[in-house]
Amino acid sequence: MNDMSSSAHAELQTLETDVVIVGGGIAGLWLFRTLNNLGYQAVLLENKTLGGGQSTKSQGIIHGGIKYALSGNLTKASECIAGMPGRWRNCLNGEGEVDLRAARVLSEHHYMWAPGGLSRLTSFFASKALRGRVDSVKKKDLPEVFNNRKFNGKVYQLNEIVMDIASVNEALTEGVINRTLEVNWDQADHQGSTKLLAENGEIQGIEIQGADQRYILKAKRYVLTAGEGTADLLKAWGVSTPEMQLRPLHMALVKHKYPHPLYAHCLGTNIVPRLTITSHPTEDGEWVWYLGGDIAENGVKQEPEEVIARGKKELKDLLPWIDLNDAQWGTLRINRAEPKQSKLLRPDQAFCKAVGNGLVTWPTKLALAPNLADEVLKELRGAGIEPSGNDGFAMPTDLNSARHCEPFWSGCFDK
Ligand SMILES: Cc1cc2nc3c(=O)[nH]c(=O)nc-3n(C[C@H](O)[C@H](O)[C@H](O)COP(=O)(O)OP(=O)(O)OC[C@H]3O[C@@H](n4cnc5c(N)ncnc54)[C@H](O)[C@@H]3O)c2cc1C
């Protein structure tokens, strides 16, 4: 069996832990690994597949906040996120709080380009405030995609990396997957085989069904990292705040044989990039270019055909030397889940709020997962919850471990 202290109550067996984390996206997985490394007995529950919510459907950019400085000012959001690329790089070098040496970096830099010149922003990008975060790129160092005589834009290199998030998730669960559990609750009423038990705003435990018997999982703290699923969990818990907001996107995807990747924001006339392109390698040796930015924000009100038509036009206008005639196109609708703001704006930093014996969290950005783990740790330590030690800690073997998700483009090109 396992090291976990347990006692039988009729058929219901109690499993005691330090922390139960509900939701296995980047927020839950980063926190899970951090707590494991510190010696906490942490169990992570996943309803579908690890990373299969927003996290692997994100563009994987470890923002340093430059995107948010496009108004020409350094906003609070861009200042607070500025330290994140450094945090992730430390982890990639095996020197951070989690070990990401096995994770795959898709690009050492994200770029920003303006077709035909950056007049409005040139002096701002050259300013002292952005030193070390934005560099202009010499012709010889341009990403291969821009290496064409027809290209007359100005390119800046950002101090931001782009990650293959599926490989990050694998690294975060390496060796501890048997402390994750696949759960199954009906999203509508949370009365499936998994049940949240709560009374007077306190979570009493979470009932889960094993192949051999039923368990009740009890923790000193329950951390909700369920992204969009957090609203339903709050309902089941009987808690009305904090509230959640959803900001939808309708992304375009193009799978093609053109051999070079691109990781770049294309500037437009407003503060949202006209296009944000990231590139993701497929098993058959092709690339999926994933198109976000204004095309995806505006695309929310549009049918897939309209988003695809705009994607085709944008690439033809901006990079006419690239032949995408044989490409396959698709789209993906996905919501960003965040704490509710007075306007539908992007919140400034990772959100973590203590409610009874729980913590309700949203990272608001993939890049901010380390910041979210910091906030949770602060709360745990503030409440005197110290690691119990986790050598040999594992879940009973009649419970299934959670599984990692398929690539985000699976199913997008079938239509
Ligand atoms: C298209 C897109 C592009 C983005 N690009 C970037 C980017 O380049 N850089 C960046 O920093 N940020 C980006 N973001 C934002 C970023 O993806 C999110 O902020 C981040 O991934 C949220 O992580 P999460 O762990 O909170 O949520 P999720 O990744 O959604 O994970 C939540 C998990 O909880 C599970 N779950 C739900 N309900 C339950 C339940 N009841 N029980 C158990 N499990 C449950 C879900 O199945 C899921 O696995 C992007 C977002 C989108 C949508």
DSSP code string of 182-196:
E----TTTS-SSSEE
| Spacing, Cα 319 to ligand 1 middle (Å) | 31
Local confidence band at 186 (pLDDT 50, 70, 90 cut-offs): low
Mean pLDDT rounded to a whole number for the chain: 90
Q: At what angle do helices 165-173 and 26-38 cross, to 10 degrees?
A: 30
Contacts of 333 (CB under 8 A, 6+ apart): 248, 249, 250, 251, 300
Q: Residue 101: pLDDT above 60?
A: yes
Hey, which of 154-158, 193-197, 209-213, 280-284 has the most confident mean pLDDT? 280-284
Buried b (16+ CB within 10 A) or exposed e, 374-393: bbbbebbeeeebebbebeeb
C-alpha of 181 from chain center: 20
Instruction: Say how many residues make up the chain.
Output: 415
Does the global pTM surpass 0.85? yes
Q: Residue 72: pLDDT above 70?
A: no
Structure tokens at 76: 């609070």
Q: Which atom of ligand 1 is nearest to the CA of 225?
A: 26
C-alpha of 16 from chain center: 29
Residue nearest to atom 38 of ligand 1 (CA): 229
Per-residue pLDDT, 270: 78
Q: Which atom of ligand 1 is nearest to the CA of 232?
A: 41
| Spacing, Cα 25 to ligand 1 middle (Å) | 5
Structure tokens at 36: 């494991």
Structure tokens at 219: 């923790």
Q: Which atom of ligand 1 is nearest to the CA of 45?
A: 43
Q: Residue 342: pLDDT above 90?
A: no
Per-residue pLDDT, 4: 39
Q: Residues lining ligand 1, judged by CB closer than 6 Å?
A: 22-28, 45-48, 52-55, 57-61, 63, 183, 185, 225-227, 229, 233, 249, 251, 292, 334, 336, 362-367
Q: Residue 189: pLDDT above 50?
A: no
Residue nearest to atom 2 of ligand 1 (CA): 58
Please choose, from the candidates 397, 412, 173, the residue with its C-alpha nearest in 3D space to the C-alpha of residue 280.
412
Measured over the CA atoms of residue 180, residue 376, residue 247 and residue 295, the dihedral's sign is negative
Three-state SS at 277: strand
Higher model confidence: residue 268 or residue 59?
Answer: 59
Q: Residue 120: pLDDT above 70?
A: no
